[in-house]
């Protein structure tokens, strides 16, 4: 019993510094993780990749409306691919969600119930989606989803989600 409690405490202690937070600036992330290992630009947003404590953390920065400074609009947490059998644990996912809760609670989305109460989402699509994803909503216009097959937890602001949807729609508009 003591060994299992100690194991959970050590696990959570090792991931605490790995908790990027929505709204952090690139300088704050550099202070938390050290120098980024990779950087890509896509339109208005810049993605930086960090490695710390056995995690790969990808942070997408965009300009905060009204403030004129770059802040985190999206964060993905995953284990490096060289650890093929390592998967994010439930405790790790809950820790990352809590780090980005900003004092509020995440609500789990019941896709099956939505399929039957909202138009446009077929039951088959909801079944497939709930099989592959766990999804949470935050009252501050944020969404988190855990993609089970890829073992990636992603948290996104509404601003980034709407931008990505517009860009996807532009790419498909010629078909």
Domain span at 145: 2-172
C-alpha distances (whole Å) from 53 to each of 37, 47, 80, 107, 171 are 14, 20, 10, 28, 37
State the pLDDT at residue 82: 65
Q: Using CA atoms, how far apart are residues 89 and 67, in angstroms rounded to an integer?
A: 36
CA distance linking residue 125 with residue 131, whole number of Å: 10
User: pLDDT tens string for the chain (175 positions)?
Assistant: 444 433 333 333 333 444 568 889 999 999 988 999 999 998 788 999 999 888 999 999 988 776 678 889 999 999 886 656 678 999 999 999 999 998 999 998 875 555 445 545 555 555 556 678 888 999 988 989 999 888 999 999 888 878 877 777 776 655 5
Are residues 62 and 159 in contact, defined by beta-carbon separation less than 8 angstroms?
A: yes
Phi, psi of 20 (to 5 degrees): -65, 150
| pTM reported for the whole predicted model | 0.74
């Amino acid at each position: 019993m003591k060994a299992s409690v100690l194991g959970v405490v050590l696990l959570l202690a090792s991931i605490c510094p790995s908790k990027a937070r929505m709204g952090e600036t690139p300088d704050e992330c550099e202070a938390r993780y050290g120098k980024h290992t990779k950087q890509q630009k896509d339109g208005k947003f810049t993605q930086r990749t960090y490695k710390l404590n056995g995690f790969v953390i990808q942070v997408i920065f965009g300009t905060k409306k009204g403030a004129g400074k770059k802040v985190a609009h999206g964060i993905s947490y995953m284990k490096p691919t060289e650890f093929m059998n390592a998967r994010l644990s439930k405790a790790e996912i809950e820790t990352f969600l809590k780090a980005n809760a900003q004092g509020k609670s995440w609500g789990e989305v019941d896709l099956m119930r939505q399929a039957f109460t909202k138009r446009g989402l077929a039951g088959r699509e909801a079944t497939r989606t709930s099989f592959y994803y766990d999804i949470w909503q935050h009252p501050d216009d944020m969404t988190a989803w855990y993609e089970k097959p890829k073992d990636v937890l992603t948290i996104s602001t509404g601003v980034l989600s709407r931008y990505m949807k517009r860009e996807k729609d532009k790419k498909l508009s010629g078909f």
